[in-house]
């Protein structure tokens, strides 16, 4: 027990170490968190009236961010699968960092749900056993289970591995392999359940399509690995951790293929909505061409599609993808494009027009933007705090005083 406390204390101390740039990074994030908190205080005291949401468009940028980030969390499996199932050494060397991305994304998801709640003080009503949980009927109840479960899995598997390495022991793969397999299935399930959250509403024909689940998975496996690619490059540039170039190449291919599939499915949706446009196509019309003179989302969706097309073109052409700068640009386009497409471009049009045919537009208020930025800053902070001690342990800098000496290799 004292050993465990010592482990935690030393991990915590590791967070305080770092040069000027590291402190500047943390300070910058902290200021966004503080601004977000101030904005949230305003929301908490006045109610969600301070948001741009209404009875007509009752979910906005919070749920858009939530939806996108569940995908990022799920995408960690694109490193976990090659690492543990195919024993790919490049993937294995960075798997803990990918799981760190998943944890940060999960925490952001939960925070985005909390800030969207009208009565967050009643969160205990959601705790199974104490509250009253509408399981299995409510898709939101499923989502609470899968998100928290995924968070726990992605916290405990790396913790077990790192704690062993800290002690100088080789982690026993047989002990945690069943949890790895569980986490792989769980990853697919978190994003499927999130898709079903929307699909389960025939009241909203725009969401009520069986293609939404597959589209969510495809876009997640495009944007998620793109996030991991960028994170790994920052780590490679700013720390002594060696990132195997091969994993970045592999993840870029995953992003490429996933984007191709996602764009194909987007095309299939557009054909269905526009070739024989029924009254159920009104939301798609609102999104792509505008409806009754209202077209706030049209520039958004075309920017998204343009970015995704440029991104996928760069990624598809090998000589272009091999250039790190172009690949990074493609990754940023993939992330932003998909953020718009499955965030603002999916949540908002589901509400326009309303089930009674009313067209009311939505745009986020400054408070929503600041709260969202604050949550993203928390996410970056969580990832930093997870990655820093993990890298120190992997590099053998942080180890128990009575640890068995072991060769310093990032692979395990």
Partner 1 sequence: MPGTPENKKGPDTPAARQELSRRDALRILGVGAAALGSAVAHGSEPAKASAAPGGTTLMDKVGEYFQDHYQRMTKEEIDAAIGRLERKYKTQLGVDVKVADTPPIPGVVFGYALNLNKCKGYRECVKACVAENNQGRDSQIQYIRVLEIDRDTASLEESDHYYDHEVPAPGKYYMPVQCLQCENPPCVAACPVKATWKEVDGIVVIDYNWCIGCRFCLAACPYWARHFNWTEPVIPKEEINPVTHYLSNRPRSRGVMEKCTFCLQRTRKGKMPACQEACPNGARVFGNLLDPESEIRYVLENKTVFRLKEELNTEPKFWYYVD
* Residue 404, both tokens: 């068995």
- By CB under 8 A, tell whether 203 contacts partner 1: yes
- By CB under 8 A, tell whether 113 contacts partner 1: yes
Alpha carbons 93 and 97: distance in angstroms, whole number: 9
Site string for partner 1, 244-273 (x = CB under 8 A): ------------------------------
Q: What's the closest the beta carbon of residue 341 comes to partner 1, in angstroms? A: 19
- By CB under 8 A, tell whether 289 contacts partner 1: no
- By CB under 8 A, tell whether 284 contacts partner 1: no
Give the bridge partners for 294, in sequence order: 291
Alpha carbons 150 and 148: distance in angstroms, whole number: 5
Alpha carbons 91 and 100: distance in angstroms, whole number: 14
CA atoms in the 13 A half-sphere facing the CB of 2: 0
Closest CA to 59 of 116, 137, 123: 116
Q: What's the closest the beta carbon of residue 47 comes to partner 1, in angstroms? A: 5
Task: Tell me the CA end-to-end span of the chain in Å, nearest whole number.
Answer: 25
Contact between 383 and 100 under an 8 Å Cβ cutoff? The reply is: yes
* Candidate list 54, 260, 328, 363; residue touching partner 1; CB under 8 A: 54
* Candidate list 13, 17, 132, 175; residue touching partner 1; CB under 8 A: 132
Q: Name the one residue in this structure whose structure tokens are 């194909």.
A: 264
Q: What's the closest the beta carbon of residue 178 comes to partner 1, in angstroms? A: 24
Contact between 368 and 112 under an 8 Å Cβ cutoff? The reply is: no
- By CB under 8 A, tell whether 147 contacts partner 1: no
- By CB under 8 A, tell whether 159 contacts partner 1: no
Residues that bind partner 1 (rule: CB under 8 A) add up to a total of 49
**Hey, which residues between 329 and 358 contact partner 1 (CB under 8 A)?**
350-351, 353-358
Contact between 71 and 191 under an 8 Å Cβ cutoff? The reply is: yes
- By CB under 8 A, tell whether 41 contacts partner 1: no
Alpha carbons 270 and 273: distance in angstroms, whole number: 5
- By CB under 8 A, tell whether 53 contacts partner 1: yes
| Binding interface with partner 1 (CB under 8 A) | 46-49, 51, 53-55, 58-59, 113, 116-123, 125-126, 129-134, 137-141, 144, 197, 200-204, 279, 282, 350-351, 353-358
């Amino acid at each position: 027990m004292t050993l465990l406390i010592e482990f935690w204390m030393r991990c915590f101390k590791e967070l305080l170490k770092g040069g000027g740039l590291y402190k500047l990074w943390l300070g910058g994030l902290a200021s966004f968190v503080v601004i977000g908190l101030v904005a949230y205080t305003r929301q908490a005291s006045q109610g969600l009236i301070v948001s741009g949401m209404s009875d007509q468009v009752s979910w906005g940028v919070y749920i858009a961010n939530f939806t996108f980030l569940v995908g990022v969390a799920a995408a960690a499996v694109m490193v976990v699968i090659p690492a543990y199932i195919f024993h790919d050494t490049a993937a294995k060397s960075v798997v803990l960092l990918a799981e760190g991305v998943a944890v940060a994304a999960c925490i952001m998801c939960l925070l985005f749900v909390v800030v969207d709640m009208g009565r967050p003080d009643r969160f205990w009503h959601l705790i199974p056993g104490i509250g009253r949980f509408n399981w299995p009927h409510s898709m939101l109840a499923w989502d609470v289970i899968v998100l928290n479960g995924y968070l726990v899995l992605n916290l405990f598997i790396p913790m077990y591995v790192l704690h062993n390495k800290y002690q100088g022991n080789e982690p026993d793969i047989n002990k945690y392999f069943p949890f790895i397999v569980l986490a792989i299935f769980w990853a697919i399930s978190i994003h499927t359940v999130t898709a079903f959250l929307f699909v389960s509403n025939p009241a909203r024909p725009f969401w009520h399509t069986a293609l939404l689940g597959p589209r969510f998975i495809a876009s997640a496996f495009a944007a998620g690995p793109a996030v991991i690619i960028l994170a790994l490059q920052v780590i490679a540039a700013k720390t002594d951790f060696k990132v195997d170039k091969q994993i970045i190449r592999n993840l870029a291919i995953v992003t490429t293929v996933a984007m191709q599939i996602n764009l194909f499915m987007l095309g299939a949706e557009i054909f269905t909505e526009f070739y024989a446009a029924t009254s159920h196509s009104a939301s798609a019309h609102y999104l792509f061409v505008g409806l009754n003179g209202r077209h706030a989302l049209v520039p958004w969706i075309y920017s998204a599609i343009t970015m995704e097309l440029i991104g996928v073109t760069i990624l598809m052409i090998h000589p272009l993808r091999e250039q790190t700068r172009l690949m990074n640009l493609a990754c940023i386009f993939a992330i932003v494009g998909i953020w718009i497409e499955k965030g603002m471009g999916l949540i908002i049009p589901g509400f326009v027009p309303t089930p009674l045919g009313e067209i009311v537009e939505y745009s986020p208020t400054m408070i929503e933007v600041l709260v969202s930025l604050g949550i993203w800053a928390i996410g970056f902070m969580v990832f930093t705090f997870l990655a820093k001690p993990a890298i120190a342990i992997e590099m053998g800098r942080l180890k128990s005083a009575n640890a068995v000496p072991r060769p310093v290799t990032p692979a395990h």
